[in-house]
Amino acid sequence: MKEKVISNQSLPSTAEPIQRLVQELNKLPGIGPKNAQRLAYYLLRAPEEQTQLLAETIASIKQQTTLCPICFNVTDTDHCLICRNPERDQTKVCIVEQPQDILALEHTRIYKGLYHVLHGAISPTEGIGANDIRITELLERLKNNLVAEVILATNTNLEGEQTALYLNHLISPLDIKLTRLAQGLPFGTELEYADDITITRAFEGRQGF
């Protein structure tokens, strides 16, 4: 990823601490120089408790969180809430690319099993291979014979597909049921605009009505 070019010339007469804050905010994704400037001046005028709280909160996400040693979700305790919950189905593991994906899946409350976060997807052109994401840890985890089903919930783009195909190649010899989330037409869209692959998969995965 290219470093953002941050020009100092646009702020020749600003106090140095503000300029530093603008530069730091500018590094955040989706925040351009003008946005950064607006946020910096907002924080300058905001009550001190608010800025203090923000600073502490930002510091705490690094200091007080770690990755769950089982599923590699982000957690503030030794094991994450999902892995600790005895009511979750221990025989199912759903594989996702990033912790945010768990939030999306949990929001539906339809899945009661466990997760495994890969922290990325295989992307040959960016030089990300199988050893750069948490695949080895997954295979270790599957060795304990507790898991009966692995659900692949990687993204449906090329990298996610590659990762799913690669995991299929590794997991299929293990005698574990392997499933992939269904692919097809998203809710609330029009068929007219759907692409060939989506329509092909939607036909292949059609179900009795």
Partner 1 sequence: MSRPRTYQTEAIIIKKIKLGEADRILTLYTPILGKIQAVAKGIRRPKSKLAGHLELLTHSTVSFARGRNLDTIIGSQTIDSFLPLKSDLSLTAYALYTTELINQFTAEYIENRPLFQLLLETLHQLCLTDNRELLLRHFELHLFKEIGYRPQLRECVVCRQPLQPVLNYFSSDTGGMLCPDCRLTQTIVYPLSVDALKVLRWLQDNDFITISRLKIEPKLSHELERVSRNYIKYLLEREVKSVAWLDSLKQSTQLI
The answer to whether 141 and 83 are in contact (CB under 8 A) is no
Which of 80/167 has CB closer to partner 1?
167
Q: State phi, psi for 49 to the nearest 5 degrees.
A: -55, -40
Distance CA 95, CA 142 (A): 12
Binding mask 109-128 vs partner 1 (x if CB under 8 A, - otherwise)?
-------------x-xxxx-
User: DSSP characters for 112-144?
Assistant: -EEEEE-SS--BGGGTB-GGGTTHHHHHHHHTT
The CA-to-CA distance between both ends of the chain, in Å, stands at 46
Which of 12, 29, 86, 208 is close enough to bind partner 1 by CB under 8 A?
A: 29
Which of 158, 179, 182, 205 is close enough to bind partner 1 by CB under 8 A?
A: 158
130: left (phi > 0), else alpha (psi -120 to 50), else beta? alpha
Q: How many residues bind partner 1 (CB under 8 A)?
A: 28
Does 15 contact partner 1 by CB under 8 A? no
Does 3 contact partner 1 by CB under 8 A? no
What the block records as the tokens of 83 is 């892995």
Which of 173/208 has CB closer to partner 1?
173
Listed residue (85, 126, 127) closest to 106, CA to CA: 85
Binding mask 177-196 vs partner 1 (x if CB under 8 A, - otherwise)?
---------x-xx---xxxx
Does 81 contact partner 1 by CB under 8 A? no
Does 139 contact partner 1 by CB under 8 A? no
What the block records as the tokens of 207 is 């179900």
* Stretch in the footprint of partner 1 (CB under 8 A) among 43-51, 70-78, 113-121, 158-166: 158-166
Which of 48/195 has CB closer to partner 1?
195
Does 130 contact partner 1 by CB under 8 A? yes
Number of other residues whose CB lies within 10 A of the CB of residue 67: 15
Task: Return residues touching partner 1 (CB under 8 A).
Answer: 1, 29-30, 122, 124-127, 129-130, 157-158, 161-162, 165-166, 169, 173, 186, 188-189, 193-198, 200
